[in-house]
Amino acid sequence: MTRFALTLEFDGTPFFGLQRQKDGPSVQQAVEEAAFRILGEDVRLHSAGRTDTGVHALAMRSHMDIAKDIAPFRLMEALNAHLRPDPIAVTHCEIVPDDWHARFSCTGRSYVYRIANRRAPLTLEKDRLWQLGTPLDHEAMHRAAQALVGLHDFTTFRSVHCQSDSPVKTLDRLDVERARTQWGEEVRIHAAARSFLHHQVRSMVGCLALVGMGRWREEQVAEALEAKDRQALGLNAPPHGLYFVEATYPRD
């Protein structure tokens, strides 16, 4: 068996998430079925993280073990051909050691959440950003976000369906910036950590958006964190503005 590491880019709009689901299409299912058509063998895709319905990925790291002798470039090209028309692309493929694991070898994960801060309806970017017409104070959002950086109990920002053993995580980065694009204003929230709880990024973004709109005081984000209670959460941001950006590994 040879272990192949893949880098996947995908639009999560038509999928029920990355992981296989009983009741709808997933990125994992699409890649595994494409691999079966190419190789004639059942393979399982393992990935650095999981994504919810509608969440996108710029560079999700995954791996699969394959018995057939095939070159990485040929595998990448064949997968891309068989994945059409699904909005999934394999952007890189390489052979890795047998003890390398896309999930368990990963030492860091980063996300970006994009908010379209304009009143006009989205057309080209529909389903790829969360649209908020109310002007956002991104500087207040950034100041409030710093209360969440570091080692904390993130129970407030954790989905009731989260399967993590502990709500305690170390958040390495949570930065908010405003970007001017050709179509309007965009507020971006960058988050990085070794690992995240289910819905953690979306929950943090939702509360920061309340600060940006002036509906929450900056201090309320820290107060929500301190409450360690999901009922203290102000807002859970929708999934379609969230992008998995990067997975990092020791050799990186």
Kindly report, residue by residue over 102-141, the tens digit of the pLDDT: 999 999 999 999 999 999 999 989 999 999 999 999 999 9
Given the structure tokens 């920061």, which residue do they identify? 208
Q: Is 172 a catalytic residue?
A: no
CATH class as words, domain 108-248: alpha beta
From its phi and psi, is residue 160 left (phi > 0), alpha (psi between -120 and 50) or beta?
Answer: alpha
Give the model confidence (pLDDT) of 145-189 as tens digits.
999 999 999 999 998 888 788 999 999 999 999 998 877 889 999
Provide the 3-class DSSP secondary structure of residue 232: helix
How far apart (Å, rounded) are the C-alpha atoms in residues 118 and 104?
40
Contact 129, 56 (CB under 8 A): no
Per-residue pLDDT, 252: 59
List the chain domain ranges: 2-96, 108-248
Catalytic residue among 23, 52, 65, 98: 52
Q: Name the CATH code of domain 2-96 (choices 3.30.360.10, 3.40.50.10740, 3.40.50.300, 3.30.70.580).
A: 3.30.70.580
Average pLDDT on 50-64 reads 96
Interval 27-52: pLDDT, tens: 999 999 999 999 999 999 999 998 99
- Matching fold, domains 2-96 and 108-248: yes
